[in-house]
Structure 1
Amino acid sequence: MNQCTAVALLPPPEHVLALSIPGRHRPEAGHVLCELGEDHDETHATMLWDEGGRPGSAVWVRWGAGDARLLPLPWCPARDPRDADDACGLFVGHPSGHSWAVTDPTDEAITRDLARRHPHLFR
């Protein structure tokens, strides 16, 4: 399945702005791209950072109709049946297929173009 193409421009959280040094460069809004498969519910998700792989250490932003929330969510424990070393890169209870079943169409298009231009690198 293809990756969801939802994009959001999110402002920095208020607590981050409050911690910034007055008179210095303040954090700016940034774009996030949904990492879920395109067949998910109305709430999108992007992992922002992981603080060491502990349960609940990955911080995700979940957004939908006009709201966004930062949430510490545990990693999905599922393993790819084709390669047991490949774990799902999404959170527990994610609403779409596991990460190994989600294809980024832009990444795929770039890979096809590079393979066409440089076939010796893609054997």
Structure 2
Amino acid sequence: MDYVDGASRCQLSTHDDNEHYGLLDDTGERGTALWLRWSGTVDVELVVLADCQAVSRRVDGEGCCLFTGHAGQHTWEDTLEDA
């Protein structure tokens, strides 16, 4: 799936399933983004997904940069200790 890797890389942390998501662009509507979703080497599609509403409990209060219901860790979680 070289053409997908050239356009976008999977943004999810390590995950067991074969479904991958790469952020393409903001949709212009608050709370949503345009994502490229693919599975294995086939079934590439564009999807609009709602933003993940999770916020870090750390002082900085960083929000997750993924989508609602994503697999794996939130984007600010670098280690299992943060999860």
TM-score bin (small chain): 0.7 to 0.9
Q: What are the equivalent positions in structure 2 for 1:29-68 lying under 5 Å apart?
A: 30-52=6-28, 54-56=30-32, 58-65=33-40, 66-68=42-44
Identity of aligned residues (%): 35
Q: Where do 5+ consecutive residues of structure 1 fail to align?
A: 1-6, 11-29, 104-123
* Matched ranges for 1:39-118 at <5 A: 39-52=15-28, 54-56=30-32, 58-65=33-40, 66-83=42-59, 85-102=61-78
- In the TM superposition, residue 51 of structure 1 has moved relative to its aligned partner by 2.8
* TM-score, structure 2 as length reference: 0.77
Alignment deviations for residues 16-62 of structure 1 (CA, whole Å, 9 cap, x no partner): xxxxxxxxxxxxxx432111001242101111000335133x00011
Extract structure 1 runs of 4+ deviating beyond 2 A.
none
Over the aligned positions, Cα root-mean-square deviation in angstroms equals 2.4
Give, in whole Å, the separation in 2 of the partners of 1:102 and 1:35. 13
More helix by share: 1
Q: What TM-score comes out, normalization by structure 1 length?
A: 0.54
